[in-house]
Amino acid sequence: MMHQAGSKHFSEDIWRRLQPWERRLDEELAQLEPELIRIRRHLHAHPEPSGEEIETSKFVTKRIQQAGVDAWIARSDIGNRVGVVADLTIGKPAANAPLIAMRCDLDALRMPDEKQVEYASRIPGVAHACGHDAHTSVLLGAALAMSAINSQPGELADDDGVRLRFLFQPAEETSHGAEWLVSQGAMENVDAVLGMHVDPERTAGTVGIRYGALTANCDEIEIEINGHGGHAARPHHSVDPIAAAAHLVSTLYEFLPRTVDSRSAAVVTIGKISGGYAPNVIPERVELSGTLRTTDSKTRDVLKARLQDICTGVEQTSGAKVRLRFRQPLKAVVNHPRITAALEQSASRVLGPENTEIIDQPSMGGEDFSVYLDHAPGALLRLGCGISGTESTFLHSSLFDIDERAIGFGARILLRTALVLSADIQANAAKESA
């Protein structure tokens, strides 16, 4: 549904004070737009997979330091120098001014890029098919615009100011990068964190705002089934792990959905089955892997317990040993209401209330933006990037591309949100101390 942002979210006094900032932001980002498109196309042509964003991190650091922004490169858990953290103080913020973080992701996917464009991937088997090159360009644009304003304050009031932190995160696709940055202090002293993800199902110039759960809890499932191998002609001499695996998958799909309230969003998928040597050999072992996705913790706990019960039942009926493991648990992104309201009202000011949509249902996808929410309140929005008048190419498609106008829209929305949150937090702190 379409929703008009309410004026009650943030006072008109705050927005009036921010109007000079808004004008300057729009001016700077309009001038930066050609460069940001060039940056996006460079990144798109030179993708790096999760944990290997070494050159991308160097590129971001060099450009951001050229603009006078302090930045440092983080490290992965295996020592690669990937990920960038940059701090910028603009104007003269009050002593109690909060630190507002904004996050993007750097990594590409291990898949081909089959677009026929000059900026298509030059790295075989690696492609920016999830829009992280656009996210990086948005955040670079935000940093460059604010740095330019800082060097030429113009009509801004002497006592105006804001403290910003820019998080250029590696390894989002593998759900490791947020933890790497957090472990190296990226969320220290952060009062709020913002993020966005491009959405090709919305045209550029529109956004989706979700109050509450935006993404799902994600648990990777690994199941190992050990039997007793033998000749295909004499199955009575063996314990067949393939038969047990087939029965297990069928039982999971049949009974897990009937374990919880049908109104509770939940999905289990087995995406990989491996085992066997030859058509006439019953193997010793079969391995299955998949995911369990839920949007609330109670449903998650119930389904994890039921999944174990089903594995135990298959073990008892088949005679095979069934071992279940849950790996890489990832919490749902649950957007903070006040910060979501700031995103909504900022998007409405940039794009108009008619282009600011409230999302009714959460996505069943996962996002490690949730890791930051353990350390500070935050929210993530869906940034429309679809190209009007063309057939949509969805995320993780080898033909994925964007309407590059979305880059400027994203930067304008994030920066307005950071400014209004900073002003609002300070105003509330002043009221409390009065």
144-198 pLDDT per residue, tens: 999 999 877 666 655 578 999 999 999 999 999 999 999 999 999 999 999 999 9
Look up the CATH number of domain 12-215+332-433. 3.40.630.10
Q: Rounded distance, CA 27 to CA 24, Å?
A: 5
Least Cα distance to 154 among 109, 197, 225, 90 occurs for 90
Q: Which of 119-123, 176-180, 282-286, 387-391 has the lowest mean pLDDT?
A: 387-391
**pLDDT, tens digit (0-9, with 9 covering 90-100), for 31-53:** 999 999 999 999 999 999 999 99
Alpha helices, DSSP H, located in 217-269? 241-255
Contact at 8 Å (CB) between 291 and 218? yes
- Tell me what the pLDDT averaged over the chain comes to: 94
Helix (H, G, I), strand (E, B) or coil at 54: helix
Mean pLDDT of 43-70: 97
**pLDDT, tens digit (0-9, with 9 covering 90-100), for 227-239:** 999 999 999 999 9
Q: Which residue has the higher pLDDT, 85 or 428?
A: 85
Mean pLDDT of 351-372: 96
Q: Give me the residue spans of the domains in the chain.
A: 12-215+332-433, 219-330
What is the pLDDT at residue 361? Answer: 92
Hey, what CATH class is 219-330 in? alpha beta
The 3-class secondary structure across 173-231, one letter per residue, is: CCCCHHHHHHHCCCCCCCCEEEEEEEEEEEECCCEEECCEECCCEEEEEEEEEECECEE
